[in-house]
C-alpha cells in the first residue's frame, strides 16, 4: 500500500513552453502533497506544500507564478512549470501524506519516483 | 540554519562487507532523523527513523542507525551488504510537528561482487 505515482517520468520541452507533472496517490487519500526539486548531486529541496482544496504554501525563494500547484482532489496534485527555461531543468519529486495519518506527523510522507524535466 | 551533510557522494563496498554511511546534521531544536533509500525509478522508501529513546534504531532490510547527539550524527550501518542494497541513500531531519524535511545530498552505494 501507500503508492505514489508521477507522470510523466521524463519530459523534454522547448524553452518558453509549459509542462504539467502529475502526482497521484494510488491507494490512499492524500490530504497533503509536497513538491520537491532535486539538482544533480544536491539535496531534495521542498518547493511547496499543497492541501486538498486550498492554495499551496510555497517555500521562500520559489516563484508561485512560475510553479503552479493544484491539488483539486484527494488523489491528485499537479505541478505546472510555466514558460520553462533551461534553468528549470531538474528532477521533480512529489510526496503525499494520507488523510488518516497522525496529524502533522513528519514521517508519513510517501514519495513518488520523480520526473526528470529537460528544457532545451 | 538547518542542514544535513552526507560527506560521501559515492561509496563502493564488496558484497558481504559491512557498510557505514555518514550523516551529520545541524538543527536548532530536537531533531527527528530519517534515512531513506531510493532505487532507480522508485520513490524514496523510509528505512528507519529516530524520534527519541534508544539511540540505536533498527530499520527494514537489516539496516540500523545510531544517533549521537554529541557528534550531531546519525550514521547508517549494515553488517553485511547485499547486491540489492545498491541505491542512493538520503539522510533527513525534520521537526516533530510540521512538514518540512531537510535532506542531505545523498550517498550512492555501489556493491561489487
Distance between CA atoms of A33 and A95, rounded to whole angstroms?
6
CA-nearest of A70, A88, A77 to A18 is A88
pLDDT at B39: 87
Over 80: is that where the pLDDT of A74 sits?
Answer: yes
Distance between CA atoms of A100 and A34, rounded to whole angstroms?
17
pLDDT grade, residue A28 (50/70/90)? confident
Judged by a CB distance cut-off of 8 A, whether residue B103 touches chain A is yes
B43 → chain A, closest CA residue: A113
pLDDT at B44: 87
Mean pLDDT for B53-81 is 95
CA-nearest of B57, B38, B55, B59 to B47 is B59
DSSP conformational letter for A102:
P
- Bridge partners for B20 per DSSP: B77
pLDDT grade, residue A30 (50/70/90)? confident
Whether B51 and B32 have beta carbons less than 8 Å apart is answered as yes
Task: Among B24, B27, B43, pick the best mutation site for testing chain A contact (most A Cβ within 10 A).
Answer: B43
The grid coordinates listed for B27 are 538543527
- The CA R_g of chain A, rounded to the nearest whole Å, is 14
- Bridge partners for B50 per DSSP: B33
Q: Comparing A101 with B90, which gets the higher pLDDT? A: B90
Over 70: is that where the pLDDT of A101 sits?
Answer: no
pLDDT at A104: 45
Mean pLDDT for A97-120 is 74
Question: Across chain A, what does the average pLDDT equal?
Answer: 88
Half-sphere exposure of A15 (CA within 13 A, CB side): 4
Per-residue pLDDT tens digits for A46-73: 999 998 888 899 999 999 999 999 988 8
CA-nearest of A88, A73, A61 to A23 is A73
Over 70: is that where the pLDDT of B30 sits?
Answer: yes
CA-nearest of A94, A100, A85 to A19 is A85
Note the residue count of chain A: 120
Closest Cβ opposite residue A42 in set B46, B49, B105: B105
Residue B112 CB contacts under 8 Å (≥ 6 apart), including other chains: B12, B13, B14, B15
Mean pLDDT for A86-100 is 86
A44 → chain B, closest CA residue: B103
pLDDT grade, residue A99 (50/70/90)? low
Sign of CA dihedral A39, A44, A47, A48: positive
Over 60: is that where the pLDDT of A42 sits?
Answer: yes
Amino acid at each position: 500500500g501507500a503508492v505514489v505515482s508521477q507522470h510523466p517520468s521524463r519530459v523534454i520541452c522547448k524553452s518558453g513552453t509549459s509542462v504539467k507533472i502529475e502526482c497521484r496517490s494510488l491507494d490512499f487519500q492524500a490530504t497533503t502533497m509536497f513538491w520537491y526539486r532535486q539538482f544533480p548531486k544536491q539535496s531534495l529541496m521542498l518547493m511547496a506544500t499543497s492541501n486538498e482544496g486550498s492554495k499551496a504554501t510555497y517555500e521562500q525563494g520559489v516563484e508561485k507564478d512560475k510553479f503552479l500547484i493544484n491539488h483539486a482532489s484527494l488523489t491528485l496534485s499537479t505541478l505546472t512549470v510555466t514558460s520553462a527555461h533551461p534553468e528549470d531543468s531538474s528532477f521533480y519529486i512529489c510526496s503525499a501524506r494520507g488523510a488518516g495519518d497522525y496529524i502533522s506527523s513528519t514521517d508519513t510522507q510517501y514519495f513518488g519516483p520523480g520526473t526528470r524535466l529537460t528544457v532545451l | 540554519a538547518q542542514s544535513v551533510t552526507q560527506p560521501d557522494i559515492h561509496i563502493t563496498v564488496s558484497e558481504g562487507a559491512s557498510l557505514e554511511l555518514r550523516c551529520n546534521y545541524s538543527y536548532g531544536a530536537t531533531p527527528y532523523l530519517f534515512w531513506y533509500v531510493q532505487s532507480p525509478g522508485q520513490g524514496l522508501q523510509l528505512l528507519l527513523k529516530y524520534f527519541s529513546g534508544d539511540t540505536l534504531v533498527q530499520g527494514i532490510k537489516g539496516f540500523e542507525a545510531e544517533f549521537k547527539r554529541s557528534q550531531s550524527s546519525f550514521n547508517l550501518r549494515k553488517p553485511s551488504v547485499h547486491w540489492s542494497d545498491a541505491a542512493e541513500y538520503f539522510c533527513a531531519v525534520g521537526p516533530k510537528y510540521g512538514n518540512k524535511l531537510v535532506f542531505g545530498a545523498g550517498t550512492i552505494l555501489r556493491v561489487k561482487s
